[in-house]
């Protein structure tokens, strides 16, 4: 699971659907993998501008790769070559292979296995 997928996911329990604490999901117990890919600065900027920056910050903090405050306007950050490398790394090269997504509102856990998050709820 990559950062762009995490950026879309939220708890789908009925009690959480309209609750602001169901997003972004907390990441725990992770096994990550990094694959080196060719850098495309323009594509990175396009994707970055479409994502929720708060959730992207949480992603980088939960994975212990936080380096920059991603809520700042990209115009302030893009002049920094290290930031562009970092952005490419967190958006495209870093992937969660195993772990859990946890709702901060209800503590519902969703398993990530083989890089795929299972967002199905068990019948209760």
Q: Which fold has domain 3-117?
A: N-terminal domain of TfIIb (2.20.25)
Is residue 59 scored above 90 in pLDDT? yes
For range 39-62, the mean pLDDT: 93
Domains of the chain by residue range: 3-117
- Whole-model pTM: value is 0.89
Chain position carrying tokens 């929720």: 52
Number of Cα atoms under 13 Å in the Cβ half of residue 19: 17
Distance CA 53, CA 71 (A): 5
Q: Is 98 helix (H, G, I), strand (E, B) or coil?
A: strand
Confidence of residue 86 (pLDDT cuts 50, 70, 90): very high
pLDDT score recorded for residue 76: 74
Query: Which has more confidence, 20 or 113?
Result: 113
pLDDT score recorded for residue 8: 93
> How high is the mean pLDDT of the chain?
92
Is residue 111 scored above 70 in pLDDT? yes
For range 87-96, the mean pLDDT: 95
Range of weakest confidence among 21-25, 28-32, 69-73:
69-73
Is residue 65 scored above 90 in pLDDT? yes
For range 36-54, the mean pLDDT: 92
Is residue 92 scored above 90 in pLDDT? yes
pLDDT score recorded for residue 17: 81
Q: Is 58 exposed, middle or buried (0-12, 13-18, 19+ CB in 10 A)?
A: buried
């Amino acid at each position: 699971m990559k950062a762009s997928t995490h950026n879309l996911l939220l708890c789908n329990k009925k009690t959480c659907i309209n609750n602001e604490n169901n997003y972004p999901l907390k990441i725990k117990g992770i096994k990550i993998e990094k694959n080196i890919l060719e850098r495309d600065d323009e594509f990175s900027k396009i994707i970055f501008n479409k994502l929720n920056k708060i959730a992207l910050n949480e992603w980088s903090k939960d994975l212990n790769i936080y380096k920059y405050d991603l809520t700042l306007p990209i115009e302030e950050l893009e002049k920094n070559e290290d930031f562009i490398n970092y952005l490419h790394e967190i958006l495209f090269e870093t992937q969660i292979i195993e772990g859990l997504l946890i709702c901060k509102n209800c503590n519902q856990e969703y398993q990530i296995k083989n890089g795929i998050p299972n967002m199905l709820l068990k019948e209760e």
